[in-house]
Structures are given as structure tokens and as C-alpha cells.
Amino acid sequence: MPIAPDAAAALVDRLADAAGWAILPWFRAETLGTTDKGAAGFDPVTEADRAAEAAMRDILDAERPEDGILGEEFGTRAGRSGLTWVLDPIDGTRAFLCGAPTWGVLIALSGPEGPLYGVVDQPYTGERFRGGFGRATLDGPRGHRALRVRRCPTLAEATLATTYPEVGTAADQTAFARVAREVRLTRYGMDCYAYAMLAAGQIDLVIEAGLAPYDIQAPLALIEAAGGIVTDWQGGPAQDGGRVLAAGDPELHRAALDRLAG
């Protein structure tokens, strides 16, 4: 069953609202149930993650039963419409546990060719970054505005962000270091908020590895709508996750690809 762009955007807003209402009572709370789901290292999931995804799925079950769902916490529901809702209820759970507001709710609507529309929502700061259907916007404490990436053609002028200093494998870390050595500033620990800041023209590059589809599809739609570029480290499609390079400037993107390749 098709969905019109305005109806899709309105539904994504409702999903983000529902997720935020489920999450905020747990943020900076004195007690929060947490489970470590990682086979190696600390990979937490909280009551807030599960509650938020469940709230979004309840809406989709009622209103879009023919669409697929891909969610971090409750897996995949096959669909028949050709559309899939890609949900990460809290991207940046470690930041959430630390009380840092760099986490966000990621929601994408994807078709056979990839993400059509995506939202990065930070309910604690009241910022909602939307991208797709020919527009990219932010609603937040300062009101409503259009989003546009900034031009920065050279690595020497660029600000680079990633979540972990340990970017993927040892080989990935070596490749990342080649880029980091040449940029003006590197920032760590920004989670999905880094992609939002790239779309807003505040930073220039995001480089990450080991991503799942639900980690990148909403940011991908947002950044492309704001005029940026999101690929894998070889310049190919990034919608399936893995190693991801996002840039605001095509010349900067080419330079980063060159350094990542060695």
C-alpha cells in the first residue's frame, strides 16, 4: 500500500513522539534496567530501548500492517507493500546510560532502492532533524529552519566525527587514522548526533565502521536531503551499514575516500 510523502512524514513524527514519551522517563533516572547483549565488550540494551520500539511498532501494526519493519530490538517483520520502517529506538545507548544527550531516535522509511525519508530525533533537547522528499529541516528550541551541509573542500579545514576511537578492526583504525591526521579537528562519542550536525552544516565528515542498517538509514536520508554524500568506504551504497563515510562536500568526500583506501 503506497503512502503519500506528507502522510509518511506525519506518521514518522507520530512514531518519534511515541518513542520520546516512552524514553524520557528513563533518561537520567536513578534506576534503569540494563542488559548486556554483547558477546564481546559491553553492548547494552535498556528498558527504554524496548519500550520505545514497542510503542512505534504498535502504531505501525495498527496503521501500516502491510509494510515491513526492521528494528534493532525486535527484529524483522516481513511486509508486502515494498516499504519498510527501519527503527533504532535509542542510537547511542552508552551515551544514554551516561546521561549525555548525543543519543537519538532513528526512524527511516525505505523502499526497494533505499531510504526515502529519515528522522534523527533528540527528545531531551527537543530537536527533530528531518530529511527526504526533497527537503531537510530542523525543528528545535530556536524554531524551524532548513538544513544544508556546508562546503569544505579540503581535509586541512575539516571537522571529523566518529563514535569510538576504536573504529572497527585494526585495519579500519589504521585507515581512519590516515584521515584523522590531516583534519583540523576530530571529535569522538557523538553517536547519531554527528550525522545531524553534518546535515546542519556544523561538521564536515563522519567516518564509522561496524554499523547495522538501522544505524545509518535515517541519517543517510537526512544528509542526502541536506545536500551531502553518504557511501561505504569504497564509494558504494551505504544503506546496509558496515563501514560508512558521510561528507558535506564532494571534494572532501573524494579526499577522505582516497585516504581510507591507503
pLDDT of residue 164: 84
Calpha distance 3→22 (Å, rounded): 26
pLDDT of residue 65: 97
pLDDT of residue 36: 61
Return the domain boundaries, the chain: 5-146, 155-261
Which regions of the chain are under pLDDT 70? 32-34, 36-44
- Point out which residues pair with 86 in neighbouring strands: 70, 108
pLDDT of residue 42: 58
Binding residue positions: 72, 88, 90-91, 215
CATH number of 5-146: 3.30.540.10
CATH number of 155-261: 3.40.190.80
Binding residue positions for Mg(2+): 72, 88, 90-91, 215
pLDDT of residue 165: 80
pLDDT of residue 27: 95
pLDDT of residue 167: 86
Kindly report the three-state secondary structure assignment for every residue of 61-127: HHHCCCCEEEECCCEEECCCCCCEEEEEEEECHHHHHHCCCCCEEEEEEEECCEEEEEEEEECCCCE
